[in-house]
Amino acid sequence: MIRIEIIANQSVYPELIANLEACLPDFLYTSIPLAYGRGRDSYKLGDSTWPETNFVLIAYADDAVEQKVAQIVRYIKLKFPTEGIKLFVLHDKDA
């Protein structure tokens, strides 16, 4: 069992979700639609100075989907090279 966390600019959300759901029909997730913070290059605060925002996607899945999710995220990064997109995968301690 793995925990998948994807933190990315709000602008890539529709494309990411469409690809995850198309490639992994049984992929279940929770989306936190509004996340503020500071990345390497800029702030995402949703205000008049720093208007952009991020989202956080969290999913629990079998180990077998890890490579497919990583492949989808790589594709999104190539398609949107200037947007911040990060994938984190945490493995079950007992695995």
pLDDT digits (tens, 9 = 90+) for 32-75: 999 998 888 888 888 888 889 999 999 999 999 999 999 999 99
Distance between CA 4 and CA 36 in Å, rounded? 19
Q: Grade residue 13 by pLDDT with cuts at 50, 70 and 90.
A: very high
The 3-state DSSP class for residue 94 equals coil
pLDDT on residue 93: 83
pLDDT for position 39: 81
Percent of the chain with pLDDT over 70: 99
Residue 95 has pLDDT above 80, yes or no: no
- Structural domains in the chain? 2-91 (3.30.70.120)
Q: Using DSSP, how many helices (H) and how many strands (E) does the chain show?
A: 2, 6
User: Helices (DSSP H) in 1-95: which residue ranges?
Assistant: 13-23, 66-79
Give the mean model confidence (pLDDT) for residues 81-90: 95
Residues 30/59, Cβ–Cβ less than 8 Å: yes
Surface-to-core class of residue 8, CB atoms within 10 Å of its CB (0-12 exposed, 13-18 middle, 19+ buried)? buried
| Average pLDDT for the chain | 94
pTM of the complete model: 0.92
